[in-house]
């Protein structure tokens, strides 16, 4: 928990980097099952070997869905807040595929934190998801949350 003025002072600054998260085939398969997105590039290692990816890859939306868990580690939450709600994204780009068995982590930077209505604050956070030992990130996104005080 962090005081509001301390969070506002972080605008424009990096907030930190999450721990590594393993994206293995079991996680990919579970996501495919829940979302009914069983495209072969995600769930069929044999068929996926013949693609330019050389094997199965995580769904882009799986990578995106891991952002909250990674953010809990490093993005400050204001003292006295009742809850936070995902409001959406201004930008999401899937830059590079996350191959099964790779680890990812997220880097966060606070872009804005401002009161939009009494007791409701909008937090905009830039997120970049790094793939271990790769040059390009998996994704970049400007993530919007509403914080209710």
Q: Is residue 33 part of a domain?
A: no
Specify the CATH number for the domain of residue 116: 3.10.129.10
Tell which phi-psi region holds residue 88, choosing left (phi > 0), alpha (psi between -120 and 50) or beta: left
What is the tens place of the pLDDT at every residue in 1-56? 689 899 999 999 999 999 999 999 999 999 999 999 999 999 999 999 999 999 99
User: Taking Cα atoms as reference points, which of 51, 137, 131 lies closest to residue 94?
Assistant: 137
Residue range of the domain that includes 99: 4-23+59-148
Q: Is the pLDDT of residue 95 over 80?
A: yes
Could you tell me what percent of the chain has a pLDDT over 90? Answer: 96
User: Which residues have CB under 8 Å from 122's CB, separation 6+?
Assistant: 87, 112, 113, 114, 115, 116, 144, 145, 146, 147
Q: Residue 88: enclosing H or E segment and its boundaries?
A: strand 83-94
What is the tens place of the pLDDT at every residue in 125-142? 999 999 999 999 999 999
Q: Is residue 129 part of a domain?
A: yes
Tally of domains in the chain: 1
The whole-chain average pLDDT of the chain stands at 96
Residue 2 has a pLDDT of 87
Q: What is the mean pLDDT of residues 110-125?
A: 96
Instruction: For 47-77, give one letter per residue: b (16+ CB within 10 A) or e.
Output: ebeeeeeebbbbbbebbbebbeebbeebbbe
Q: Is residue 47 part of a domain?
A: no
User: Which residues have CB under 8 Å from 68's CB, separation 6+?
Assistant: 86
Q: Is residue 19 part of a domain?
A: yes
Q: Is residue 11 part of a domain?
A: yes
**CA–CA distance, 129 with 67 (Å, rounded to integer):** 8
Q: Is residue 87 part of a domain?
A: yes
Burial (CB count <10 Å: 0-12, 13-18, 19+), residue 135:
exposed
User: Taking Cα atoms as reference points, which of 72, 70, 74, 52 lies closest to residue 62?
Assistant: 70
Residue 1 has a pLDDT of 61
Q: What is the mean pLDDT of residues 109-121?
A: 96
């Amino acid at each position: 928990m962090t005081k509001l003025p301390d969070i506002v002072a972080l605008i424009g600054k990096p907030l930190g980097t999450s721990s590594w998260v393993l994206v293995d085939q079991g996680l990919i398969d579970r996501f495919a099952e829940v979302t009914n997105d069983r495209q072969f590039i995600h769930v069929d290692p044999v068929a996926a070997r013949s693609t330019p990816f050389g094997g199965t890859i995580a769904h882009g939306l799986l990578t995106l869905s891991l952002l909250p868990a990674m953010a809990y580690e490093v993005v400050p939450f204001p003292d006295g807040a009742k809850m936070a709600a995902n409001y959406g994204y201004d930008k999401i780009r899937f830059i590079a595929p996350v191959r099964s068995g790779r680890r990812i982590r997220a880097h966060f930077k606070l872009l804005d934190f401002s009161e939009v209505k009494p007791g409701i604050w909008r937090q905009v956070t830039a997120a970049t998801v790094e793939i271990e030992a790769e040059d390009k990130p998996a994704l970049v996104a400007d993530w919007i949350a509403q914080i209710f005080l």
